[in-house]
Chains A and B, each alone.
Chain A
Amino acid sequence: MSNMIATRESYGNALCELGKINDKIVVFDADLSGSTKTAVFKKAFPERHFNAGIAEMNMAGMAAGMAACGKIPFISTFAVFGTGRIYDAVRNAICYPKLNVKLAMTHAGLTVGEDGATHQMLEDVALMTALPNMTVIVPADDTEAKQVVYAAAEVDGPVYMRFGRGKTEVIFDENYKFEVGKANVLTEGSDIAIFACGIMVAKALKACEELKKEGINASVVNVATIKPLDEKTVIEVAGKCGCAVTCEEHSVYGGLYSVISQCLAGNKPVPVKAVAVNDTFGESGKPDELLEKYGLTVENIISKAKEAIAMK
């Protein structure tokens, strides 16, 4: 069995380490510090941790004020509240003034599980990507998530980080290097480009192995930074393969499928198929059952890859 860690755990641990080396880091939570794992930071630096209570909008506004006074606030809650509920504050009080607030949101996507549709955020990447000045990052595993936290602190301006609730396979070793705005080509093939982010990267790698057995060679690319998109790599790989599939635990609107298609339509038009949630809300259930029901599976990546190849 490979090592399994939830990226929210990676966040909590890295945040605490970051707090040790950078005393400008302050942390806000909204009554979910146990779940978002900012409690780890709180334990080490109680005077730099603020619980806003169940008042997310105020949390975002307070963070903007802290940033205006030179602090680097990390704010956390569930992704659904940390993007949707506070959207206006993020737009008008954080992104427009380009304030140095880091939105580290957990429990994104269907893998929230039993809580159901109200808590399963599938539109966060769309909302955040649409905002000028915002950097949007969706890490794939523990190794990457930890590096993302450090990297976000170095970015001058707002950053949105998307973390998951459930344990995720650790796919990268300590030699892996995350860089903001850089997509990582994980496998080299010339039949199909598979662009993936978050928990779908591990599935894309498995699909790649299965496809290989059928003589189909895939380039799997981890697109952790959705914005700014690594257009050069995307165009290069899609151009070489002549077709592509995108894989994300997000709505088909406004996420990875949208940014990749947008990039390719304007630069290197090739067929692009999507493995994403098809314009619907989620529901209660176990994470794996939900991924299956909504088609976020290795099998679906394989079949979408074949459809894309057939369109070449």
Chain B
Amino acid sequence: MPVKKGSSGISRRDFLKGMGTTILSTAVVTGGGLVPDSATAALLDDTVETISGRVKISLRVNHKVYSVAVEPRTTLLEVLRERLGLTGAKPACNRGECGACTVLVDNQPMLACSLLAVDVRDADIITVEGLSTDDTLTAVQKAFVEKDGLMCGFCTPGFVVAATALLQKNPNPSLSEIKQGLSGNLCRCAAYPKIFEAVQQAARTMQRGK
């Protein structure tokens, strides 16, 4: 791919720096398809950057920095699931309609199926797998287990992430605020009543924990 305007053959390292990516101590490199076949990522000057073909980018997911090869069209959901093996976020509609792929991007719940991976390079991404920093369950996860806030469970990671975000913003939500907060997540099994109970219980536990 030709690069427009005074391209100065900027190196990969500069490119990464240019993106303002902080390299954390635990850089994890995942296997498979890592070497860019036709990398043309370049900073034309400070103002414009073009990416085409397959390029290596770094993504900060669950407090780790991963280096992955993507194309501009690769979605965050594809990277998480196909490259990083993080299959918690689910592809149930792939069009932003169901919430099963909900992840936190800079602490905000967003839909991984509708984000380009190159667009979230300098963001903090937390998936359901990363909500807890050790092996224990978070208050929200525990409440989902205890109140049975799931049936088949395919929608559950999305709900857990959305509920976590909701309680971060509003630690003591009313039932109607819980419904609002979860209105972007569909559950075909319709476990909603138990999901609401779980969120209420999680709110209580978290309040007590403070």
Q: Is chain B found bound to chain A in the same assembly?
A: no
Residues of chain B touching chain A, judged by Cβ–Cβ distance below 8 Å, are none
Residues of chain A touching chain B, judged by Cβ–Cβ distance below 8 Å, are none
